[in-house]
Chain A
Amino acid sequence: MEYILIIVSAVFVNNILLMQFLGVCPFLGVSNKVSTATGMSGAVIFVIALATLVTYLLQYYVLIPLRIEFMQTVAFILVIAALVQMVEIILKKISPSLYQALGIFLPLITTNCAVLGLAIIVVSKEFAFSGTPQMFNLAQAVVYATASAVGFGVAMILFSGLREQLDLNNVPKAFRGTPIALITAGILALAFMGFAGIV
């Protein structure tokens, strides 16, 4: 039950993209087509699940025992950058078809703030899903981060569908490109506000 609450909360109520504004750059950048949006979402879910697992362990077994929590930002971004590189190399070797699908999105993910953002959120915020507010344990942290990444994917794919429709319409000149995309995203965010209060 607790995990269901975490998942619903992360995917819909606190949607990482539309409510917390993490990962807006790829959201606006590669959401022109449903196919690329799906590829990007897949890569993001994969990397976020792995990155949160590693950074959680790093925080609790290296940074806190050594009392160098202030190095969090530097340590996390290095780990994420290295991890993305490693995933790229491993995927190329063991699963060329998956690499073909996700490959071009992987280098972009290092600078996706959703990855670093979630890594920091799950080790620094207290959550109250089961009674008293407390820090996540490892399983909860990974589930929360992965569900947030799924939420990113849901918003991304919905939005790319809307943008494909927008391309067929005659948009006023000043609105073309990013402005109309932002306004569409605003209306989508309004719709997602309807989920508030579920959890």
Chain B
Amino acid sequence: MNRNNFLIKGIFTENPTFVLILGMCPTLATTTSAINGMGMGMATTFVLIVSNIVISLISSQVPGKVRIPVYIVVIASAVTVLQLIMQAFTPGLYNTLGIFIPLIVVNCIILGRAEAFASKNSVGASALDGIGIGIGFTLSLTVIGLVRELLGSLSAFGFKLGGGDGVLVFVLAPGAFLVLGYLMVLFNGLKSKMNK
């Protein structure tokens, strides 16, 4: 694999949110604002990089039959480390994201990358893959968060842009589905236009 392509792969061709459609729960739930989306993306990136590195190191020692439970324990341990770090240094973000931090364990992106990439590739390539996919996920979440924040409360990254309250429904649950749906339409439309 060409090592320089890991960023393009993570952001465009294998974008976890818009192309692979994985990890929908945190994508919908934590993107109430750009900052929250970015925080969630970075937390997931951390777990992705750690678990990719550890799994590519141990995968040759793990018997095939028990590999999934072993991978899940590795991922859960990385999430526990992340929980303790976030509780100590970013308690505000930790409380906002709440239950979705422990739920990174069951994010299909992480187990998916472990199974599809880290278990078959070298440590360096797996770390780069984790960084690329992580950046792609963080970018998607930040964009969704930004759109919802702009429409819902007329602000961006916490800064108020204009008077008034915005359309509150975009910050609430239905807005998450609608914004993600329409952004996906946009992504598909641009992709088919570029392919022509």
> Which residues of A come within 8 Å of B, CB atoms?
18-25, 28, 70-74, 77-78, 81, 110-113, 116-117, 120-121, 124, 173-175, 178-183, 185-187, 189-190, 192-193
Our pick among A21, A71, A112, A117 for the contact of B176 (Cβ within 8 Å) is: A21
- Considering the chains assembled together, what is the distance between the CA atoms of A77 and B25 in angstroms? 17
Task: Name B154-196 residues within 8 Å CB distance of A.
Answer: 169, 172-178, 180-182, 184-186, 188-189, 192
B175 and A186 form a contact (CB under 8 A): yes
Task: Tell which of A25, A121, A175, A182 touches B25, judged by Cβ atoms closer than 8 Å.
Answer: A25
List A contacts of B43 (CB < 8 A). Answer: none
Our pick among A25, A116, A124, A175 for the contact of B24 (Cβ within 8 Å) is: A25
CB contacts (< 8 Å) of B189 on chain A: these are 174
CA distance A45 to B105 in the complex (A): 21
Question: Given A73, A179, A181, which contacts B79 in the complex, CB threshold below 8 Å?
Answer: A73
Known: A70-B83, A78-B69, A116-B105. A174 touches B29 (CB 8 A): no
Contact: B181 with A180, CB < 8 Å? yes
- Contact assessment for A174 and B188 in the assembled complex, using a CB-CB cutoff below 8 Å: yes
Contacts of B174 in A (CB 8 A): 18, 186-187, 189-190, 193
Contact A193–B173 (Cβ < 8 Å): yes
The answer, among B25, B72, B108, for a CB contact under 8 Å with A21, is B25
Distance in Å: Cβ of B23 to nearest Cβ of chain A:
8
* Highest count of chain B CB atoms <10 Å: which of A71, A175, A189: A189
Task: Output the least CB separation between A171 and chain B (Å).
Answer: 11
Interface size of B by CB at 8 A reads 40
14 A-B pairs within 8 Å (CB atoms) are namely A24-B28, A73-B83, A78-B73, A81-B69, A117-B99, A174-B188, A179-B188, A182-B177, A182-B178, A183-B177, A183-B178, A183-B182, A185-B177, A187-B174
> In the complex, which residues of chain A have a beta carbon less than 8 angstroms from the beta carbon of B77?
74
Besides A21-B29, A175-B188, A190-B169, 18 more A-B contacts (Cβ < 8 Å) are A21-B176, A24-B25, A25-B22, A70-B83, A73-B76, A73-B102, A110-B106, A111-B111, A116-B105, A120-B99, A120-B103, A173-B188, A178-B21, A182-B177, A186-B176, A186-B177, A187-B178, A189-B174
B59 proximal to A (CB < 8 A) = no
With A and B bound together, what is the CA distance between A70 and B80 in angstroms? 7
Task: Give residues of chain B (36-92) contacting chain A, Cβ–Cβ below 8 Å.
Answer: 69, 72-73, 76-77, 79-80, 83-84
How many whole Å from B111's CB to the nearest CB in chain A? 7
Are A193 and B182 CB-contacts (below 8 A) given A74-B76, A77-B76?
A: no
A192 CA / B174 CA spacing, docked (Å):
9
A78 touches B29 (CB 8 A): no
A113 touches B103 (CB 8 A): yes
Q: Is A121's CB under 8 angstroms from B99's CB? A: yes
Q: Considering the chains assembled together, what is the distance between the CA atoms of A18 and B77 in angstroms?
A: 29
* Docked pose: A123 CA to B148 CA in angstroms: 31
In the bound complex, CA of A20 to CA of B26 (Å):
10
- Which residues in A have their C-beta under 8 angstroms from that of B99? 117, 120-121, 124
Q: Using Cβ atoms and an 8 Å threshold, which residues of chain A touch B169?
A: 190
